[in-house]
Structure 1
Amino acid sequence: MSPGSERGQVGMVRAGVDVGPTNTDAALLDDGGRVLATVKVASVPDDPVACVRAALGALPPHEFAQVAVGLRGAASAVTRRRGLRRVAVLRISGESARGVRPLSGWPADLRAAVSAGTETVAGGGGLDREDWTPLDRDAVARFAARMAGTAEAVAVTGLFSPLDGGQEREAAEIIRAEAGDLPISLSAELGSIGLLERENATVLDAALSGFAGAVAEGLAETLSGLCPGAAVFVTRGDGTLMSLEHLARHPGLSLGSGPASVLRGAGVLAGLDDAVVADVGWARVGVGVLAGGFPEEAVGGAGIGGVPVGLRIPGLIQVPRPIDPAELAEAVDRLQPGPGPLQPGSGRLRPGQGRLPLVVVGGGAHAVPEGLHPEHGRCAGAIGAAVSPVGGQYERIVRLPDTAAREAVAEEARAAAVRAGADPRDVELVEADETPLDYLPGSFVKLRARAAGRPSHL
């Protein structure tokens, strides 16, 4: 444990915790971001709340203003097929999207663990209002009645619902009336445009509702006694934070949050906004990119447990251990900025900006002599959690010209950050991009915005 101050020498501090499968790391930081202490304790299998309790208890005693927890348990639940709720999957699209059924392409064991039945009903939209089809309310009611008593959660995905989520909300009201107060995940609230990837993310979001609810409740109860008065947040896959209440509502947003925290922590410790980061664990090395201070997301979509999902998750190249230096060097080279223009959605790296430095962190960092090895790098994930802002995002398809759409999307991203727990007085736009959709008729673009701000301690 690095040196820390005793109670009374330092004022209100913040702590970050990174719950890993083998070890749980914790870090203590002052208001200026200076690392006061770090610890590494053995993780308690399948009990993230106990892991957090043990790690915080090993830190020097202080009055915590904020605790941010990095949870890798959601991804583990999906990959291990454990602790998942059975989900009734409703797609609102009619004949236009029946070619590929819900959950098609899922690994058979994951589909068997999650699916409580699927149905496609008439409804859904298009790019123009005249292309929308009324929701078949009777079909939704029949589906809900059939799933009642079998499903533990529901996922609802509507065609083009990121343009208008009204039919998803309407379906949710019918489902509650027929099946009771089940957890219902709506794809429009997750924001991705692509139907299948958005549907997959929504199903996993619903399947993880039991895990997330138990963790949120356990953390709230434990930390209210251990850290009274502290604001509690958890990490999410885009390198930002969200409140415990937001985790319970949208557990899928925590997928990929472990690597995201490591990337942010590595950049903070090295004093870099742009870098290639190698997180050296005991079994493998995860190599990713920090771009503009945030994790660069997976190009072409991310995958969890063999399922492509429309979520912001860091793009990583996995290198097994023992480490082959040539294989690691190839992974680092593949993540360097290219000479040409950026592909849509590929992140914030600038073409031609030069070779990025390599930052090496993690418990096994000593096995990689190359690159920068910042102090406290063994606990980069905990430090990344402690220093991250609260974030929100929003994306939408619009037809040009639409002069008001850009500001409307930015305002929705700011509002999403506030709902996740950001201080409304401090939220700023951190990313806004516009991607032409050449495969659609007419002048359509996808607008996407991200906002972030300091956590609200109210």
Structure 2
Amino acid sequence: MYLIGVDVGGTNTDSALLSLVPKHRNSASRGVIASSKTPTTPDITSGITGAISAVLEKSKVEKSSILSVTIGTTHFVNAVVEADERRLSKVAVVRLCGLSTRQVPPFSDYPIGLKRIMAGPVYYLDGGLEIDGREILPLNEAQIEETIIEIKTQGITKVALVGVFSPLDHAGIHEERCRELMLKHAPHLDVICSHSIGGVGLLERENATILNASILAVARSTVNGFKRAMKELKLACPLFLTQNDGTLTGADEAVKLPIKTFASGPTNSMTGAAFLAGLDKPRLAGDASTTGQVLVVDIGGTTTDICALLPSGFPRQAPNFVEVEGVRTAFSMPDVLSVGLGGGSLINVDDKGVVSVGPGSVGHHLTTKSLVFGGQIMTSTDIVVAAGKEEIGKVEMAESIPEGTVQGARQAIRKILQRAVEDMKVSSAPVTVLLVGGGSIVYMDDLEGVEYCLIPPHHDSANAVGAAIAKISGEVDLIEILEGRDEIAVVKAASESAIVVAIGKGADPADVKIVEIDKIPLQYVSNKATRIRVKAIGRLLAQEAGENLVFLDEPSLEDPNENGHEAEKKAALADGHRTLTKPSLDIDIPSYRPEIENNVWFLSEVDLEFIACGTGILGTGGGGPSYLAYLVALDALRKGGKRSMQVVSPDYLKDDDLVCFGSWYGAPSVSGERIPCGIEIPSAIDASNKILGVQNFHAVLADEIGGGNGLATFPTSVHYHRPTVDGDLMGRAYPSMEHGTPYVYGHPIAPCTLADSKGNISVVMSAESNAKLEKMLRATCIELGLFTAVVGRPLSGAVIKEYVIPNTISQAWYLGRAIHVARKAKTSFTGAIFEVMPGRVLFTGKIIDVQRDVSKGGYTIGRCLLSPLYDKELDGESEVTAETRHLVIPFQNEFLYAAYTDEAGIAETEVVCTVPDLISILGEDGEAIGSQELRYGLRVTVIGIAAHPLWTGDERGLKVGGPEYFGLEMKWKSIGEYTMPRGVIAEFR
């Protein structure tokens, strides 16, 4: 039996025919019997037909022995990369949320060019769920009908439907019912439900749903082309497309969810390159070609895709979110960087003679529009020929290109590749490049830091090979009540269901294996409700007949005037994929100075970006997501204007000044999904001040600097035109109100006010103890959906100066700046961190288990288990770890302690750090990973930072902030002596 893999790129269509016979697989060609490269045709069909016909003709293989045809394509992602208005639809966004989620509207973090093309009207309708499954509000049919009428009036046909917590209801009841009502009034609409796209994390899931809706027309046209090719070739075997994770999906399913195939081209290239290079086979000792870091560089006709490979040959996985051309989405996929460079990239020379390359491309018109093929457009392929690197087409046509243009284009191409390689490196170790793809000829000049450049056999068909070797997957995602049930049996049943799904899709029953199990308990519910996700994978089983090739209605994407949209396209490309959420990209960070005047620090957008990164580290796993809070703060600064966001030192306060607080209170898993509406914190402060008769106050202060709460005070300061004090009441994140340092030392919390997005306000006037007050607040918070604003009693300047943890906003700023500097310089981010504050690395490893419902000391906490990195996993890092022990980190939102343990995580041998000292888990880019973001496979570094003496120098601090409070039978284990953070105001004034 044989497999055919096809990759349909923007320029070329590649195909490969692979034998399943072991002796062929073990040969130098790795079982590739034949491969072919043909130009991608405008109608797609003839290109695929030609590519498959070519390998069948070369191999003389009978069509009846073809097990399957699997296609990977970059058509969908190319439409986004090129910001092509002809192939991207405008999308209306409907959120089922009630009054919540409005503080971060749709398209908030979209790049400027894509937002201009895709952003349609936005609607906030009744509906959505709380984390425990209760309705935020029932669906309102009249509201839905009114919305549909307005959408129809605007001529929009694509709708992204996003319900709060829709993924936790695997039936997507609100989204599906709303979709049904929409189609009742407008059957022509394409309504995409977000629960079918991604998991919990509203903004990331919404972004992906919008992208999916925008490319539906391209998906229909493309897949119909695939089907026509199968019909013309008279192939009866099944037709599959490859997905982002390298597995297969049926063609009709891919039409509905094209975003799940978005990164299939790069993924196929990475797995195909590794397979062709033999990285799946044992390496010989001392094989210099695979020492250090291995990067696959796949250059096509339109884009270049780069991914780092693990020694196993599998691509390194991305963190918990992936940016697709600047759009933040929540997908589990290889960490692939795509840039607009390929064999068909346009070469432009401006009036001053400056040469630029891409991101525009002639794509599949390369063989008719480029100079060497008799056309009138200069492309990167023409530059390769003019430079004497290749003889392609009519060589003499490239000889007319001025030498200055050739050299300028070569420099621009090298700069694009150099920057892309630097962005994907994780250390300064030498790089081995596996160069694949039909456009690999544009890699003309050596790159700094690249020691070896290897071109494996059939390198120009690596995408097609990767598609051919893809497997079938089956996945189940459901909510189960575990109270009174055998958890092992429940997970086993879910695993069996995933295997059945995989087999039902065509996997070989003898080969199916469970590759992923994820258990996510719903926080603060009493029945042990748990989300269980299981994934199974197996090789394709031979089938005798193919699927019924049903063709779908599609709008015409042909443009009678190919230049008719050039103005719009140029406008989008003028902004490229620049995003306004990363202002640090536009500055030289080491020379940047914050604005200080009269002992007041006026925050800039760059300052906010640094602080957001630092608050994640100080969050020690909790505090809520910093990214959403950063978007809110950034919007508040832009609306308030320059100098509207001010920070002052604690000693700036007079003793009788009043300082107010305002922060978010609830569960991190809720705050990333049920985004606030923006009235919550001011409503709580106003209610508190009204009760106490406070007519005026002088500043605001963060309850905790960690996570999103470290940024929550900034929009509040703009709202009230009051400065924020450089400090907080914890120096980190903690799970309860009673963890504020003034409260630990006897100052009152009450009256304490809670407010939600619906206008509900609850006040605890007094309580017998801080612990009792916390229980009262928590009970109300659960009733209000586990996400509210909380405000404690205003405190005087004298109390703040005595009990504040000083300079923690500055500390976050220094941490964030250090991470950004290290990231650009490709130096150690832990080294950069410890240059600005004392601390140490506790462990470097990978997460191999995450449990979120573990009983310990009478408390229910989570637990993360890490294994050390061994020689083959170090990616060429200079110091090979000798560590053989594992590390366990229990958490209750925040990380509680770190201890060495055995590989099962049972026999703890040595505690290395505990609360109140700070334990943070950092990803490979230096960004902090919250407890809600922990997942199997992430490579991480664990660091420890000393706590302030208010926590460690007195038994009262240790009693509330140390192990005893969390039911842990251990003493505080310090990592070192505390040093007060530097103050930005003192240093830069």
**TM-score scaled by length of structure 2:** 0.39
Contact 2:308 2:425 in 1 (8 A): no
What's the counterpart of residue 142 of structure 2?
Answer: 138
What's the counterpart of residue 299 of structure 2?
Answer: 281
2:515 pairs, out of 417, 426, 431, with: 431
- Residue type matched to 1:288 in 2? A
- Which runs of structure 2 are paired with 1:51-70 in the superposition (5 Å)? 51-61=47-57, 62=61, 63=63, 64-70=66-72
What's the counterpart of residue 452 of structure 1?
Answer: 537
- Residue type matched to 2:232 in 1? G
What's the counterpart of residue 10 of structure 2?
Answer: 21
5+ unaligned residues in a row in structure 2: which ranges?
A: 26-30, 282-292, 342-412, 445-449, 546-989
Contact 2:243 2:260 in 1 (8 A): yes
- Closer, same or farther: CA 47–297 of 1 in aligned 2, 3 Å: farther
2:264 pairs, out of 253, 257, 266, with: 257
What is the distance in 2 between the residues matched to 1:189 and 1:111? 23
What's the counterpart of residue 39 of structure 1?
Answer: 36
Q: Offset at 1:306? A: 2.3
User: Are 2:156 and 1:151 equivalent residues in the alignment?
Assistant: yes
- Residue type matched to 2:468 in 1? A
Of 382-391 and 285-294, the range deviating more from structure 2: 285-294
Is the partner of 1:119 in helix, strand or coil? strand
Is the partner of 1:97 in helix, strand or coil? coil
Contact 2:295 2:431 in 1 (8 A): no
- Residue type matched to 1:281 in 2? I
- Closer, same or farther: CA 138–432 of 1 in aligned 2, 3 Å: same
Is the partner of 1:242 in helix, strand or coil? strand
- Closer, same or farther: CA 215–362 of 1 in aligned 2, 3 Å: closer
2:324 pairs, out of 304, 309, 331, with: 304
What's the counterpart of residue 96 of structure 2?
Answer: 92
Q: Deviations over 1:245-292 (max 9, x none)?
A: 111121111111111001111232233359844124277561333586
- Residue type matched to 1:300 in 2? N
Contact 1:429 1:449 in 2 (8 A): no
- Closer, same or farther: CA 40–452 of 1 in aligned 2, 3 Å: same
Q: Offset at 1:390? A: 2.3
Q: Offset at 1:99? A: 1.3
Q: Offset at 1:408? A: 6.0
Q: Offset at 1:173? A: 0.6
What is the distance in 2 between the residues matched to 1:291 and 1:187? 35
- Closer, same or farther: CA 146–389 of 1 in aligned 2, 3 Å: same
What is the distance in 2 between the residues matched to 1:360 and 1:380? 10
- Closer, same or farther: CA 325–161 of 1 in aligned 2, 3 Å: closer
- Residue type matched to 1:105 in 2? D
What's the counterpart of residue 78 of structure 2?
Answer: 76
What is the distance in 1 between the residues matched to 2:461 and 2:90? 35
What is the distance in 1 between the residues matched to 2:220 and 2:469? 25
User: Are 2:506 and 1:422 equivalent residues in the alignment?
Assistant: yes
- Which runs of structure 2 are paired with 1:226-375 in the superposition (5 Å)? 226-273=233-280, 276-281=294-299, 284=304, 286-290=306-310, 294-317=314-337, 321-322=413-414, 333-334=425-426, 359-363=434-438, 364=440, 370=452, 373-375=455-457
1:110 pairs, out of 93, 96, 114, with: 114
What is the distance in 2 between the residues matched to 1:379 and 1:359? 13
What's the counterpart of residue 45 of structure 2?
Answer: 49
What is the distance in 1 between the residues matched to 2:508 and 2:427? 35
Identity %: 29
Contact 1:37 1:59 in 2 (8 A): yes
- Closer, same or farther: CA 361–444 of 1 in aligned 2, 3 Å: farther
Q: Offset at 1:151? A: 2.0
Of 55-64 and 359-368, the range deviating more from structure 2: 359-368
- Which runs of structure 2 are paired with 1:169-208 in the superposition (5 Å)? 169-208=176-215
What is the distance in 2 between the residues matched to 1:374 and 1:192? 37
Give the length in aligned residue pairs.
427
- Residue type matched to 2:299 in 1? G
What is the distance in 2 between the residues matched to 1:396 and 1:76? 34
Q: Deviations over 1:357-415 (max 9, x none)?
A: 86443343886762664322332111000110123445567787672663465456556
Q: Offset at 1:324? A: 9.7
Is the partner of 1:112 in helix, strand or coil? helix
- Closer, same or farther: CA 114–414 of 1 in aligned 2, 3 Å: farther
- Residue type matched to 1:209 in 2? L
- Residue type matched to 2:297 in 1? D
What's the counterpart of residue 133 of structure 2?
Answer: 129
Of 316-325 and 26-35, the range deviating more from structure 2: 316-325
What is the distance in 2 between the residues matched to 1:135 and 1:261? 42
Q: Offset at 1:111? A: 2.8
What is the distance in 2 between the residues matched to 1:29 and 1:15? 6
2:459 pairs, out of 364, 377, 399, with: 377
Q: Deviations over 1:10-30 (max 9, x none)?
A: xx5221111223332211112
Of 127-136 and 377-386, the range deviating more from structure 2: 127-136
Q: Deviations over 1:410-433 (max 9, x none)?
A: 4565566467x4347467344224
- Residue type matched to 1:301 in 2? F
Q: Deviations over 1:66-117 (max 9, x none)?
A: 2111110000112223312332221111222121112222234323322342
What's the counterpart of residue 162 of structure 1?
Answer: 167
Contact 1:397 1:444 in 2 (8 A): yes
What's the counterpart of residue 340 of structure 1?
Answer: none
- Closer, same or farther: CA 169–294 of 1 in aligned 2, 3 Å: farther
User: Are 2:491 and 1:406 equivalent residues in the alignment?
Assistant: yes
What is the distance in 2 between the residues matched to 1:112 and 1:194? 24
What is the distance in 2 between the residues matched to 1:137 and 1:416? 35
Of 366-375 and 292-301, the range deviating more from structure 2: 366-375
Contact 1:264 1:293 in 2 (8 A): yes
Contact 1:288 1:317 in 2 (8 A): no
Greater C-alpha radius of gyration: 2
Q: Deviations over 1:413-458 (max 9, x none)?
A: 5566467x434746734422447689x5578876443222334634
**TM-score scaled by length of structure 1:** 0.80
5+ unaligned residues in a row in structure 1: which ranges?
A: 1-11, 338-354
Is the partner of 2:130 in helix, strand or coil? coil
- Residue type matched to 1:129 in 2? G
What is the distance in 2 between the residues matched to 1:424 and 1:140? 45
Contact 1:123 1:136 in 2 (8 A): yes
What's the counterpart of residue 342 of structure 1?
Answer: none
Contact 2:503 2:509 in 1 (8 A): no
What is the distance in 1 between the residues matched to 2:137 and 2:492? 29
- Closer, same or farther: CA 144–21 of 1 in aligned 2, 3 Å: same
